[in-house]
Chain A
Amino acid sequence: MSTAACAGVRPDSAHPWVATPATIVRIDQEVPGVATYYLELCDEKARSDYRFQPGQFNMLYLPGAGEIAISVSGDPAAAGPYAHTIRRAGNVTGSLWQLKVGDKLGIRGPFGSGWPLGECQGRDVVLVAGGIGLAPLRPVIYSLSKWENELGRRVLLCGARSPETLLYHSQYLQWIEAGWQVETTVDRASPDWNGHVGAVTLLLERLRSVDASRAVLFCCGPEVMMKFSAMVALRRGWSADRIWISMERNMQCAVGWCGHCQWGPAFICRDGPVFRYDRIAPFLDVPGL
């Protein structure tokens, strides 16, 4: 697997381990246990140099608590502040949760490979998201909503545990107005839920509006969900080299040195997190890799 060139521009730092300060300028509570933090880089030059590709991530650093890889979930065309949607899960995210607007933290990035937007040219595009897996895909929605070149159908298939955990649901109408077909499903319905119930792969199974043989699929969510989404897509006539998934592992350095995120031949931080399915399919089937 070749070293993916860092497509984004990272703040000028001679030392890849050292963070640059950023201020929290806004916090949006999204769904229970998930919030979006908008970070503004403090240094003016870092701010003007910073660019990211949809699907790339930053390392967010809270001294004393540690560092964590969080994908950028905002609009790549906006000059900042940069949105990071975080689910409260472990030590570092738990500490981040205590922060308020005006507080500062450290940021390193962007790192990793992005979603290959160029592949969408002239094709139908299907995004399959599970839970917080929608966060790294949202920059794709922003980018393709403004796409000026030829584009086919745009579809977002979105799964969540329950109706109240459907991420960014207040934006769905906006996306539909921008031309997206948005389909949702939940694992556990509430009494007032009229939508689909079941795995997001069922939506993909039933999807008839796209030409699978020419469509692009970007998928992000739990590993098992991505594996089954790819299986369904292949069965539906997708070509394995038009499916991309975004992987997750523990990352401590983000630059291919600490070894934690190794997965088969890849460093997920450096060669991923976004992988073309046909290149990594054999490794998805190996437990404990």
Chain B
Amino acid sequence: MAGELADSSSRKKEALFANREEFARIVPLLRERGYAVIGPTIEQGAIVYAPIDSVEQLPIGWTDRQEAGMYRLERRADDAWFGYVVGPFSWKQYLFPPHTKMSESLLTAEGWEFRAVEDDAPMYAFLGVRACDLAALAIQDRVFMNGPYVDPVYEKRRRRALTIAVNCTQAAPTCFCASMGTGPHCRYGFDIAVTELSDGFLLEVGSERGEEIVSGLATSAATELQMAEAHQRRARAVAQITRKLDTHDIRNVLLSQLEHPRWQHVAERCLSCANCTMVCPTCFCCSVEEVADLAETRVERHRSWDSCFNWNFSYMNGGIVRQDIRARYRQWLTHKLASWIDQFGVSGCVGCGRCITWCPVGIDLTEEVAVIRGEAT
């Protein structure tokens, strides 16, 4: 744990403290600089990431209770601003949106003319990015920006976005970021990282852009007492993480067990509803659709999220490759935890636990992996 403090104090700037009133100014400050602020807020009984124009829209005094197949919001005993973990949304909603117009074709006298569609998304400031989601952003960076081709929509949004991370001070029973090496402490990939204290916020600056924003707030050097409180609160989240996933040699373990009887077992429970892929912060599968005007002289190509759980996802001339749920669940799990490593050099799982919570029948991938490993039945 000493290393944890040393790591954060070794940053170029020492930790700063802002009281609640002062930190509340960060939202108007960001908006003045042209950012559209996206933060956690309550919608339809869940904490989602949506545009906010004031910290009053944060789920102040609320927490989430999560289990496999269960999510409830409850009142907290205090007025914490960030006293919950992650909900059904992830930041991919904004960087890799569920629906995007990618290109358009116009029929001219000379034939079809093909054009890119300029993405008009605002410059985002993400407020409240947890460590698991910082890791998810880094994974999607590999998918969309670090290969031989760069996705222009993702890249533009990502490069302009400002990331304000929040260290978790509690964990849900579904969380297993520690197993995946992604959290709960935010160590990289943020412009500003925040730890909520009883009377304010400890701020760490991670970039020049973050520095510029923080300099607009009245802050003081964090006292040793405040540093100790932040440390203690972060340690509480670490202590609360109980769920585990053994990642040792997981690529070979899973790819050598493609005919394990457990795939059939899970297929009998799985509804193939695709919830897990929708809530997953790294899943990137999509389909492209033609949207034409009535005269078919102007045709747009729309990209929408798709899922390997959808029955026609593997359709090709000759039929559907993954005909049953067994094949589809196996595809999802082996891709996420095994073949992702072949493709992108890292696991596709960050341990956020969303797929466990939002599975309507409570399928838990950590349990499935343990059975396939032969550690549980």
The tally of residues in A whose CB lies under 8 Å from a CB in B reads 48
Which residues of B come within 8 Å of A, CB atoms?
A: 102-103, 105, 107, 110-116, 143-144, 147-152, 255, 258-259, 284-288, 290, 292, 296, 299, 301, 303, 306, 308, 313-317, 321-324, 326-327, 330-331, 335, 338-339, 342-343
Are the CB atoms of A256 and B149 closer together than 8 Å? yes
5 new A-B contacts at CB < 8 Å, known A258-B287, A289-B330: A16-B150, A18-B102, A21-B112, A255-B147, A265-B343
B105→A63 contact, CB < 8 A: yes
**Chain A positions within 8 Å of B150 at CB level:** 16
Contact with B along A253-280 (1 / 0, CB 8 A): 1011111101011110010000000000
Given the known inter-chain contacts A3-B147, A288-B322, A289-B331, please indicate yes or no for A63 contacting B308, CB distance below 8 A: no
Judging by beta carbons under 8 Å apart, are B287 and A252 in contact?
yes
Q: How far is the CA of A20 from the CA of B116 in the complex (A)?
A: 11
Q: Is the CB of B116 within 8 A of A286?
A: no
Q: Is the CB of B151 within 8 A of A249?
A: no
Q: Is the interface of A mostly helix, strand, loop or mixed?
A: loop
* A interface residues, Cβ below 8 angstroms from B: 1, 3, 5-6, 14-21, 23, 42, 61, 63-67, 89-90, 103-106, 248-250, 252-253, 255-260, 262, 264-267, 270, 282, 286-289
B152 in complex: contacting residue of A6, A15, A64, A248, CB < 8 Å? A15
Are B317 and A89 in contact (CB-based, < 8 A)?
A: yes
Contact in complex: B114, A103 (CB < 8 Å): no
Helix, strand, loop or mixed for chain B's interface? mixed
CB contacts (< 8 Å) of A256 on chain B: these are 143, 147, 149, 343
Most buried by A among B111, B113, B324, B331: B111
Contacts of B103 in A (CB 8 A): 15, 17-19
Give B313's nearest chain A residue, CB to CB: A260
| Contact in complex: A253, B288 (CB < 8 Å) | yes
- Tell me whether A262 and B149 are in contact (CB under 8 A): no
When chains A and B are docked, how far (Å) is the Cα of A249 from the Cα of B285?
15
**B335 near A262 (CB under 8 angstroms)?**
yes
A267 touches B299 (CB 8 A): no
Measured in the bound complex, the distance between the Cα atoms of B30 and A179 in whole Å is 72
A-B contact pairs, 6 of them (CB 8 A): A16-B151, A61-B114, A104-B111, A252-B287, A288-B323, A289-B330
CA distance A252 to B288 in the complex (A): 7
Contact A17 B116 (CB under 8 A): yes
Do A63 and B292 touch (CB < 8 A)?
Answer: yes
Chain B residue at minimum C-beta to C-beta distance from A254: B149
Set B102, B111, B152: member contacting A103, Cβ < 8 A: B111
Residues A288 and B339 in contact in the complex (CB < 8 Å), given A17-B116, A64-B290: no
Distance between Cα atoms of A64 and B288 in the complex (Å):
12
CB distance from A138 to the nearest CB of B (A): 20
Which of A63, A258, A288 has a CB less than 8 Å from the CB of B285? A258
Q: Could you say which of A5, A21, A105, A258 contacts B113, with CB atoms under 8 Å apart? A: A21
Q: Once the chains bind, are B107 and A63 in contact (CB under 8 Å)? A: yes
Which residues of chain B have C-beta atoms less than 8 A from A255's C-beta?
A: 147-149
Q: With A1-B343, A64-B296, A249-B314 as given contacts, are A18 and B288 in contact (CB-CB < 8 Å)?
A: no
Q: How far is the CA of A64 from the CA of B292 in the complex (A)?
A: 6
Q: Cβ of A257 and Cβ of B284 under 8 Å apart?
A: yes
Smallest CB–CB gap between A91 and chain B, Å?
10
Which A residue sits closest to B315, measured CB to CB?
A250
- Are the C-beta atoms of A249 and B342 separated by less than 8 Å? no
